[in-house]
Amino acid sequence: MKLQIEALDPLFFRDGRPFALGEETYAEGIFPPLPTTVRGAFRSHWMSCQLGQPNADKDILARTSNKLELDYFGLGVAGSPVFPAPLDLFFPGKDVPATSMGLLDKKTITSSCPSEVSHLFKAPNNGKTESVAGHLLETGTMKDYIDGKSPASFETKRLTDFSTKEHKIGIGRDNELHRTKDGLLFRLVANRFRDEKDKELCILLDLQGFDAQQVPISNATVMPLGGERRSVTIKAVDFSLPKRPNINGKHFKICLLTPALFDSWYPTHLLTDFKGLKLVAACIGKPLSVGGWDILKKSPKPMRRAVPTGSVYLMEAKDEEQANEIAEIYHAKSICQPADAREGFGFCFIAQPFDNQII
């Protein structure tokens, strides 16, 4: 079931940093939220709808709700998907379109780069460059990126064009004495979605295992999401994603659309599953700390490090046939192991490299 989430209130989503009253006073949070946050909200919403049934058992419902799977998760503008800009793009100057990085043989320089890669992504040295982190690509532009169209020139949108930061100051309160508690002042930063025409930000997802007969979805359906149980509306929609490219040659790229959890900093299981596959280069951002609450075990989940959205891996397959086989299996799907894929981690696009990215 394809769904759209629209915010009625400013939304706040916790990151992996500690935030306890009396100890930490400031929480900036993250945006977009982790896919587990949204999946968990739907699990809770599904359970709350079932608890009114005769003989409903909370523990059984918690186990049953685990069947919900995220087959897609991302942002949308005016109902159309937008995607995080891949990090192998960069701005060669101010107020100009993004372009692609080239490759540099690791042997030509002294580097602390991991031994798993043979090349580095590199921007030209002819001036100041800026990262595309925090920028978005519309569907048509992302399709050009996926197809490896050259010359590589891409118009981007800033995420801040569609949402604004909203600061809130709060205090701890003694409900018996009806007065404030000392040392419990805190401040957090929420995200307010803009509601101007053509700038209406939303969250798009494809949720499987969600029985519409058990939990009817209409344009007026409201549920809480994120910190402080802020309200959002959910409705059924239809949207499409760019189709996979036909890979020409042995090289292809993996571009992450959601944070990914691997056994290492790259998908090592792919190299085991596909004989002859090699990692050539990688362009990854700062890792995210991912935790959460396990409603089955009733305890915190272990903290893990995730590769952030927009990260890119350049791979070399055994041959063109194997490259297209991988594209068929993983394009617009999760590249993580099944348990993490079900929770929405590791959604990716497979892309044809640009001419300056083929060794």
Residues 110 and 248 in one domain: yes
Instruction: Return the pLDDT at 23.
Output: 61
Structural domains of the chain, count? 2
Task: Please enumerate in sequence order all residues whose Cβ is within 8 A of that of 193, keeping only pairs 6 or more positions apart, or say none.
Answer: 6, 7, 11, 162, 163, 200, 201, 202
Residue 241 — pLDDT band, cuts 50, 70, 90? very high
Please report, for the domain that includes residue 309, its CATH number. Answer: 2.60.40.4350
Please, what sign has the CA dihedral across residues 49, 50, 52, 57?
A: negative
Domain boundary among 181, 208, 236: 236
Rounded mean pLDDT, 244-258: 95
CA-nearest of 80, 33, 84 to 198 is 80
Question: What pLDDT score was predicted for residue 189?
Answer: 84
Whether 137 and 116 map to the same domain: the answer is yes
Of 36-45, 169-178, 210-219, 327-336, which one has max mean pLDDT?
327-336
pLDDT digits (tens, 9 = 90+) for 265-280: 999 999 999 999 999 9
CB-facing half-sphere around the CA of 35: CA atoms within 13 A? 29
Q: Where are the alpha helices (DSSP H) in 128-275?
A: 139-146, 268-273
Choice among 23-32, 41-50, 89-98, 259-268 with the minimum mean pLDDT: 23-32
pLDDT digits (tens, 9 = 90+) for 301-315: 888 999 999 999 999
Q: What is the pTM of this model?
A: 0.89
Residues 108, 176, single domain; the answer is no
* Distance between first and last Cα of the chain: 41
208 has pLDDT over 80: yes
Confidence of residue 156 (pLDDT cuts 50, 70, 90): very high
Q: For residue 152, is pLDDT > 80?
A: no
Same domain as 95, residue 34: no
CA 17, 229, 192, 157 dihedral sign is: positive
Mean pLDDT (whole number) for 216-224? 75
Based on the domain organization, do 19 and 120 belong to the same domain? no
Q: pLDDT by residue (tens digit) across 84-135?
A: 999 999 998 888 899 999 998 888 887 777 888 989 998 876 768 889 999 9
Which pLDDT band, with edges at 50, 70 and 90, does 351 fall under?
Answer: very high
pLDDT of 214 above 80: no
Same domain for 45 and 182: yes
Lowest mean pLDDT among 117-126, 154-163, 183-192: 183-192
The alpha-helical segments, DSSP class H, found in 17-156 are 35-50, 58-65, 139-146
Check pLDDT > 60 for residue 338.
yes
Based on the domain organization, do 13 and 70 belong to the same domain?
yes
> Which residue did the predictor score with more confidence, 73 or 209?
73
Looking at every residue in the chain, the average pLDDT score rounds to 86
The residue ranking higher by pLDDT, 356 or 212, is 356
Helix axes 58-65, 35-50, angle to 10 degrees: 140
Q: Are residues 62 and 149 in the same domain?
A: no
Task: Give the strand pairing for 2-7 and 230-236.
Answer: antiparallel
Segments forming the whole domain that contains residue 311: 83-159+242-357
Residue 229 sits in the same domain as residue 246: no
Q: Is the pLDDT of residue 212 over 80?
A: no
Q: Which two tokens stand for residue 63?
A: 């186990």
As given in the structure block, the two tokens for residue 203 are 């969250």
Can you tell me the mean pLDDT for 255-264? Answer: 94
Domain check: are 74 and 91 in the same one?
A: no
More confident site: 32 or 29: 32
